[in-house]
Amino acid sequence: MLEQSPLGAIVVNNKISNVFPAGDGVRDAEQVCEIVADALDLPSKDYVLPSSTGVIGWRLPVDEMIASIPDAVKNLQDRTALPAAEAIMTTDLYPKVRRSDLGHPFSLVGIAKGAGMVEPNLATMLVFLMTDLDLPQERLQSMLAKATDESFNCISIDSDQSTSDTVVLVSSGAVRPDNEEVVRAFESELERVCANLAADVVRNGEGVRHVLRVNVTGAPTDTIARGIGKAVVNSPLTKCAFAGNDPNVGRVIGAVGSYVGRTCGDREECAQLMANCTVDIAGETVFDHGNFTLSTEKEARLVTQLRDAELYVSAPIVDASVPSAHFAPTLEYPPHDRCVDIDVRFDAEGEEETTRGRATILGSDLTHEYVTENADYRS
């Protein structure tokens, strides 16, 4: 769903709540927006964009939110976005801030929140992008929709979609572009900032120790390419294998083949597609035109590669007050931005690969830490 506001803000979201009639939750949000508008001396609540995440089904703590508005307004500043990035964290381990490269005549800064219940279309994720470049709202909307579709709509931590996702782009309009080259540079920077923030969301996902990047090329369509990538990163067996640094590559091929089998028109077409399929994991070819190419030496190299891509080593934390061991991330900030690359290629005789479907999907493993955090989320 696409929405526009009087602020010139652009919103791309996928709120399930939009299909339900307005109830107490909508009235609560509108009440908070009205008071924020008054505190900022804005014409109306329509100039305030509400965003929230939390336990589904429970109402907003309206009284506490209203009581905090005067202090929030008093503490507004224009020096850094870091306090805002820190303020929107929940189960996030660290704040996520990205900006455009210096040297451009414009500025672009983005902050993001999100760690679990993350799956396109968007996710339990809040993203706020701020620029000073003066462009028509319709053009900003088009740019943001494209950037979002190629970044935030191509990630998955746990395959669960959310009711509360938002991506917002706001422009102060302080800088007028001198020429179309500046506009093209802005669009490129917007796509880069969104891609980096999307990767940060996955890297900071609940319990994530491996980021998986699935590159699919040569598929019949872009839609099928995206579906194949999503099938790999959302497969519980595949996710668990990577969590254990176990190169059980048959699980990856199984996820690819299962999706192909569900979407192809007939058995012959499926068989032909898989016969033309090659899969590399961490630079090692494990499946070549329909045949596995495995060896103990290759598996040992893959184990080393997986361990090298790990963000931290899992370790149980034993609490004497709890009868069982619990796991928690031993990570305050990611030590690197490495990931496990999974390349899925389909060759088709007589067709250029560039004319066929392609997609890049970011996902993650499934760890003890993820289970612990979500089992104990409320208790």
Q: Which residues contact 131 (CB under 8 A, 6 or more apart)?
A: 106, 107, 108, 109, 169, 170, 171, 172, 186
CA dist 67 → 34, 63, 376 (Å)? 13, 6, 29
Kindly report the average pLDDT of the chain as a whole number: 87
Give φ, ψ of 150 to 5 degrees. -95, 0
> 296 with 268, same domain?
yes
> 18 with 137, same domain?
yes
**Containing domain of residue 365, as a range?**
211-375
> 128 with 144, same domain?
yes
Closest CA to 375 of 313, 328, 320, 330: 328
Identify the active-site residue in 53, 91, 124, 372: 124
Would residue 45 count as lying in a domain? yes
Helix (H, G, I), strand (E, B) or coil at 140: helix
Domain ends where: 139, 168, 203?
A: 203
> 153 with 286, same domain?
no
Would residue 182 count as lying in a domain? yes
Does the CA dihedral 336-339-340-346 come out positive or negative?
negative
Distance from C-alpha of 110 to C-alpha of 108, rounded to nearest angstrom = 7
State pLDDT tens for residues 207-266.
899 999 999 999 999 999 999 999 999 999 999 999 999 999 999 999 999 999 988 778
Would residue 233 count as lying in a domain? yes
Would residue 2 count as lying in a domain? no
Structure tokens at 105: 């005549």
Q: Is the pLDDT of residue 16 over 90?
A: no
The CATH number assigned to the domain holding 257 equals 3.10.20.340
> 148 with 22, same domain?
yes
Distance from C-alpha of 104 to C-alpha of 127, rounded to nearest angstrom = 22
Burial of 134 (0-12, 13-18, 19+ CB in 10 A): middle
> 193 with 318, same domain?
no
State pLDDT tens for residues 290-336.
999 999 999 999 999 999 999 999 888 777 776 667 888 888 889 99
What pLDDT shows up at residue 177? 93
> 148 with 170, same domain?
yes
Give φ, ψ of 133 to 5 degrees. -80, 130
What are 357's strand-pairing partners?
A: 219
Cis peptide preceding 196, ω within 30 of 0: no
Q: Is the pLDDT of residue 2 over 50?
A: no
Q: Is the pLDDT of residue 55 over 70?
A: yes
199 neighbors 191 (Cβ within 8 angstroms): no
Structure tokens at 44: 């109306």
Number of domains in the chain: 2
Would residue 281 count as lying in a domain? yes
Would residue 263 count as lying in a domain? yes
What are 113's strand-pairing partners?
A: 126
145 neighbors 2 (Cβ within 8 angstroms): yes
Distance from C-alpha of 374 to C-alpha of 379, rounded to nearest angstrom = 10
The CATH number assigned to the domain holding 148 equals 3.60.70.12
Domain ends where: 186, 203, 220?
A: 203
> 67 with 140, same domain?
yes
Distance from C-alpha of 160 to C-alpha of 167, rounded to nearest angstrom = 18
How many Cα atoms are found within 13 Å in the side-chain-facing hemisphere of 194? 26
Would residue 3 count as lying in a domain? no
Q: Is the pLDDT of residue 201 over 50?
A: yes
> 30 with 157, same domain?
yes
pTM for the structure as a whole: 0.87
Q: What is the mean pLDDT of residues 274-294?
A: 96
Q: What's the pLDDT band for 346 if we cut at 50, 70, 90?
A: very high
Distance from C-alpha of 40 to C-alpha of 33, rounded to nearest angstrom = 11
Would residue 328 count as lying in a domain? yes
> 257 with 191, same domain?
no
> 198 with 216, same domain?
no
Q: Which ranges of the chain does DSSP label H, i.e. alpha helix? A: 24-39, 62-74, 82-87, 137-149, 180-203, 222-233, 236-243, 250-263, 267-275, 296-309, 368-375
Catalytic (active site) residue 124? yes
> 189 with 43, same domain?
yes
What pLDDT shows up at residue 319? 74
Domain ends where: 203, 225, 247?
A: 203
Q: Which residues contact 203 (CB under 8 A, 6 or more apart)?
A: 211, 311, 334, 337
State pLDDT tens for residues 132-161.
999 999 999 999 999 999 999 898 888 777
Distance from C-alpha of 235 to C-alpha of 158, rounded to nearest angstrom = 9
